Amino acid sequence: MKIQVVENVQKANDEIAADNRAELRARGVASFNLMGSPGCGKTAWLERTLDVLASEMTVGVLTGDLATTRDAERIEAHTPHVVQINTGRGCHLEAHQVRQGMRNLDLDALDLLVIENVGNLICPVSWDLGQEAKVGMFSVPEGADKPAKHPYIVLAADLVVLNKADLLPHVPFDMDAFLGDLASIRADVPVLEVSAVQGTGLEPWLDWVRALVETVKAPPEAAPLA
Amino acid sequence: MKIQVVENVQKANDEIAADNRAELRARGVASFNLMGSPGCGKTAWLERTLDVLASEMTVGVLTGDLATTRDAERIEAHTPHVVQINTGRGCHLEAHQVRQGMRNLDLDALDLLVIENVGNLICPVSWDLGQEAKVGMFSVPEGADKPAKHPYIVLAADLVVLNKADLLPHVPFDMDAFLGDLASIRADVPVLEVSAVQGTGLEPWLDWVRALVETVKAPPEAAPLA
C-alpha cells in the first residue's frame, strides 16, 4: 500500500509535468532543469549565462530553495522574469510548484525558462518538471568521485557541467577518474568544464543553450519542405 | 491517507532508532550522525579524526552512499570496523539500515560509532538513526549562504563544522554573513572552522568527540556520590 501511494504521487506529478511541457512548447519557450549539490554554483553560473543571453533573448528563471529569496534577488539583477520557490523542508522541486511559478511569469514574453532546482544531487533527479532538458552540475571541490557515487543524475542528464574549474590548482581532484567514471556510467554524455567565478567555458555552454532554444522555436517537423 | 502513511513510516523509523540508541548506550558506545552536502569532506575529516583517535579508542564507522564502496575503502585504512551502506536511490540513511550495519560490527569492541550519512543537506536531517549527537558539516566552497538556505540542519545539529577553511583565500566567502546567519537561526550552536586537507581545527573537534565518548561511558547519573 505504501508503494501505491508513492506511485500515485509520482503519477500526479508526471501528469502536471506533461501539462507544463505542453504549455511551454505551445508558447515556444525552451526550458532546462539545472540540478546539482548545494553550493555547486548553479546561481553564479546562471548569472554568467544571463550576462550574455539577456541581450539575445528573454529568459525567465524559477529558482528553488528551502528558504530565503537570495537566489531570486541575485537573478533579478539580470532579468525581471524571476520567481523564487521556497519548498520548506522539500528536498526537490515538483511539477505543481513549477506550474505555480509559470503562472507568475509572462510566458509569452519568454524564449527560455530556466528551472534552478533545490541544491541536492539525489531527489531532484526523480521528478519530471516538464523541462525540455536536464543539466547536471558537479563542482571541482566536491571531489572527483561524485559521478560514481551519484550515478542517477548522470543517467538523467542531457549535459553535465563541471563548475569551479578555477579551483583545480587548489584542491585534490583526479580529472581522469572523474571523466572515466562519467564515461563508465554513460559513455555518450557531453561534459563541459567551466568556472562561474572566472567566466571560462561559457561559449560551448551558451551554444548548447542557444541550440535548445532554436529546437523549441523551430521544431524539425515544423520546418518547411525544401 | 497519504500523510498517514508517511507518519507510519516515520514512526516505524523512530521506533528502530530508539532501539539502536538503547543498544548503543547499553554497550557503552557513543555515536554521532555526520551530515552534510555531497563532497563537503565528511570522509576526509573522518580520516583525519581516525588518524588520532584510533590510538585512543576503537571506532566503528557506518558510511552511507547511493553507490560504490569508496568511502568504506578509505576508512578501512584507519579502522577495520567499517560497513558501507548503499542506499540505491535513497537520499538519506534510515534507522533500519543503521541497525543492519550495527549487526555487522562488533559493538562490544567499540567506544564510538560514527554514522556518515548520505551526502545531502536536507533529507538526513529528518531521520533519527539512534545517534547520540548530530553534526552538521558545511564547506567553504559551498558559499556562505548555506545555513540560511538550509536552516533545518542548523536547528538539528549539536555541532556545526565548517570544512575546507584552506580554500578561504581562493573563493568568495563572507564569514561574517555565514556566522551571522547561523546565529540568527540558532544563537547557541557551536561552530568549528576546520580543514581536512591541512588538518587544522582538529583539537577542539577531537575534544568534542572525546567528551561525547566520556558522557556515554560514564553518564552523570551513574557517577558515585562524593
CATH number for the domain spanning A173: value is 3.40.50.300
Which residue of A91, A141, A166 is in closest CB contact with B164?
A: A141
Residue A195 lies in a domain: yes
Residue A222 lies in a domain: no
Residue B51 lies in a domain: yes
Which residue bears the cell 522539500?
Answer: A90
Q: Which residues in chain A have Cβ-Cβ distances shorter than 8 Å to B142?
A: 37-40
**Looking at the predicted complex, does its ipTM rise above 0.95?**
no
Q: Mind telling me how many Å the CA of B133 is from chain A's nearest CA?
A: 21
Q: B41 to chain A: nearest residue by CA?
A: A142
Q: So what's the pLDDT on residue A1?
A: 43
Mutate to test the interface with B, among A2, A4, A37, A173 (most CBs of B within 10 A): A37
Q: Which residues in chain B have Cβ-Cβ distances shorter than 8 Å to A67?
A: 148-151
Residue B211 lies in a domain: yes
Cβ contact B111:B29 at 8 Å: yes
Contact B2 A1 (CB under 8 A): no
Q: Mind telling me how many Å the CA of B196 is from chain A's nearest CA?
A: 11
Per residue in A78-134, pLDDT (tens digit) is 999 999 999 999 999 999 999 999 999 999 999 999 999 999 999 999 999 999 999
Residue A170 lies in a domain: yes
Q: A153 to chain B: nearest residue by CA?
A: B89
Residue B225 lies in a domain: no
Burial of B169 (0-12, 13-18, 19+ CB in 10 A): exposed
Per residue in B94-134, pLDDT (tens digit) is 999 999 999 999 999 999 999 999 999 999 999 999 999 99
Confirm or reject contact between B139 and chain A (CB < 8 A).
Answer: yes
Q: Which domain holds residue B203?
A: 2-216
pTM of the model as a whole = 0.94
Residue B223 lies in a domain: no
Q: Into how many domains does chain A fold? A: 1
Burial of A207 (0-12, 13-18, 19+ CB in 10 A): exposed
